[in-house]
Structures are given as structure tokens and as C-alpha cells.
Amino acid sequence: MEFKDYYKIMGVQREATQDEIKRAYRKLARKYHPDVSKEQDAEVRFKELGEAYEVLKDPEKRVAYDQLGSDWKAGQEFRPSPDWDAGFEFSGGGFTGSDASAFSDFFETLFGQGGGPAEYRRSGFRARGEDHHAKILIDLEDAFHGATRTITLHSAELDEQGHARSRERTLNVRIPKGVKQGQHIRLAGQGTPGTGAGSAGDLYLEIEFKPHSRYRVEGRDLYLDLPLAPWEAALGAKVKVPTPQGVVDLTIPPGSVAGSKLRLKGRGIPDDPSGDFYAMLQVALPAADTSEAKALYQKMEQQLAFNPRASLGV
């Protein structure tokens, strides 16, 4: 993808404070808004400006952009959450010169001239920190027994001068028994620190299971492809089946066919009620790799009146 220098688009240095970035955005938004600008490329410039500001105004996204350049979006998943200035961006139509003046006055009244983080605290201003969202990969077995996992996060914070910097932190996360794919675990106060006396945001971890060598997960139900010998499927049998809770005996009805499924109630992911476990029947054919095996297959061909394509009319 084409690299876009967001700092150049905003007309600020890479060391610019968050307050300097906001002031630059307000100034350029008034200049290039299509409703008021006389510039020929106003619409294009305004869209580029909005894209740049969307990243640089957010310390998390800005640190990711600084580290990854044009591929910043691949670094982590960002989910917008309400913050105290989100409602005052130049994002809609009908913008006029009087709107620009009111916008500027509003921010000057709220923050004061050049108000950075230190000024926010001295003025008594407070704002709750943003919530963070991330995914955590766990083993399927963790959902059956519970576990504690250690995760390392890279988050952004502002220093006293309003510069964004990256900070690494390690958390021990308790995985509760019965957790399912897509469920969120909330860690209170582990999001972005608040401004002034404002409380910190929360961290939401979305559960995702690592691919399993045996089982497939659908909601709280588990699926296992269960191979059967031809005689087990035809005559019926009692076979051993592995489950995350241990090996169980499963009765195979006579005349079972490939594609059928047998249910073990309550053997899925624990809950109230728990999910179920499904054995998806498959018929595995022995290899005809010896003279005896070939002779047996030939005898079956001669003695069994079996046409597997009868349903196709051929």
C-alpha cells in the first residue's frame, strides 16, 4: 500500500504533542472543508486530513503508526470507544465559518490556551480513559478446567509534555471454566489512564480458541470426526471415543453410514446447561496392500450384491 506521512499531512513534527495535533487539525479543517474552501483539491485534502487525525489523535493508534508506518492497522485491532472529544470532529456536512469559530471557542474554553495533560490536572478537568480491546488465544481445554494465562500488552501513554510513548505491561488473566469462543473478559481499570482525576478505562479480552487437532467448536458444542471400520459401521460396535473430559464408550448402531452423527449430551463446553459432544461418523477402508487383503476384497465383490451408486440411477 502507498505510505502516507500523516505528520506531513497535518503539518506537524513527529514530536508534536497531542494538543498541537488537535490545533493543527482544527486549523486545516477550516481551510479545506469542502463547504467553505476555495481550493480545487479541498475534498481530497479534507479526507486525507481526517484519516491522519483519526490516527494521530489517539495515543494507541499513534504509537502503532510510529512503530509500523503504513502498516499500522495490521499491528493490532482498534475498536472505537466513546471519548470526551469524539463528538466535536469536523466529520459532517453543513460546516460554516461560524461553526468553525464556535468550535475553536469551545476548545479554548474547555482546555485553555495550550492546555496539555499537566494543564488538565491543574484546572481540575477530568475525563475517563478509553477502553481497550484485544484478543487472547487459549487452549480448548482451558474452557473445561479454567486456567491462568500471562499476557503482554503494548499500550500508549502520554508524558507530562503530551507526547505519546509505548509502554509494555504484563498481566495475569484468569480464564474461567466454561468460557466460550467470542466471550469477553473485562479487566477493570486496565485501559487507557484517565485525564486529571478521571478513572482509567477497561480492557476487554475477546476469547478465541487455538485450532485443535481433534475437535471443532460451534458455540458450546464440540465435533469430532470418528473413523469406523466397515464392519463396525455395518454390524454395530462399542468403540472408545476421546473427549476433553476423558475417554468414553460409544455404542455404534448397526447399519451406521458415513455422515451420521451421534450425540453425547452434556459433554461439550461446561455451562448451565453444558454443550453437547457430537461424533461425526466416517468409514475408514483398510488398505489392500497384501495378497490376503486383496483376496478378501475380491471375495466381497463377488459375494455382496452392492452398488454404491444405485441412488444415482447407474
State residue 191's pLDDT score: 82
Q: Are residues 146 and 46 in the same domain?
A: no
Average pLDDT over residues 99-107: 34
State residue 117's pLDDT score: 46
Residue 43: which domain range?
6-115
Mean pLDDT, the chain, as a whole number?
79
The yes-or-no verdict on residue 87 having pLDDT over 50 is no
Query: Which tops the pLDDT comparison, 21 or 107?
Result: 21
pLDDT, tens digit (0-9, with 9 covering 90-100), for 150-208 = 888 776 666 666 676 777 888 899 999 999 999 999 999 888 777 667 788 899 999 99
Cis check for the bond before 273: say yes or no (omega within 30 of 0): yes
State residue 126's pLDDT score: 67
Q: Are residues 92 and 73 in the same domain?
A: yes
Query: Which tops the pLDDT comparison, 263 or 40?
Result: 263
pTM score = 0.58
Query: Which tops the pLDDT comparison, 282 or 14?
Result: 282
Burial of residue 192 (CB within 10 Å: 0-12, 13-18, 19+) is buried
pLDDT, tens digit (0-9, with 9 covering 90-100), for 225-262 = 999 999 999 999 999 999 999 999 999 999 999 999 99
Tell me, yes or no, whether 192 lies in a domain. Answer: yes
Q: Which three cell numbers stand for residue 153?
A: 500488552
Q: Are residues 72 and 169 in the same domain?
A: no
From the list 81, 47, 72, 257, the residue with the least C-alpha distance to 186 is 81
State residue 173's pLDDT score: 92
Question: 242 near 296, Cβ under 8 Å?
Answer: no
Alpha helices in the chain (DSSP H): 6-10, 18-32, 42-56, 59-68, 97-111, 117-123, 140-145, 230-235, 291-303
State residue 158's pLDDT score: 66
Q: Are residues 109 and 44 in the same domain?
A: yes
Average pLDDT over residues 77-90: 33
Query: Which tops the pLDDT comparison, 17 or 169?
Result: 17
Average pLDDT over residues 108-121: 42
Average pLDDT over residues 63-82: 51
Question: Phi and psi for 295 in degrees, rounded to 5?
Answer: -65, -40
Question: 288: alpha, beta or left, given left = phi > 0 and alpha = psi -120 to 50?
Answer: beta
State residue 231's pLDDT score: 95
Rounded to whole angstroms, the Cα distance separating 281 from 262 reads 8
Tell me, yes or no, whether 124 lies in a domain. Answer: no
Question: 185 near 131, Cβ under 8 Å?
Answer: no
Q: Are residues 199 and 229 in the same domain?
A: no
Tell me, yes or no, whether 214 lies in a domain. Answer: no
Average pLDDT over residues 7-30: 91
Tell me, yes or no, whether 127 lies in a domain. Answer: no
Average pLDDT over residues 89-110: 33
Q: How many domains does the chain have?
A: 3
Residues 6+ apart with CB under 8 A from 296: none
Q: Which of 80, 115, 150 is a domain's end point? A: 115
Which CATH number goes with the domain that contains 305?
A: 2.60.260.20
The angle subtended at Cα 58 by Cα 53 and Cα 64, nearest 5°, is 100
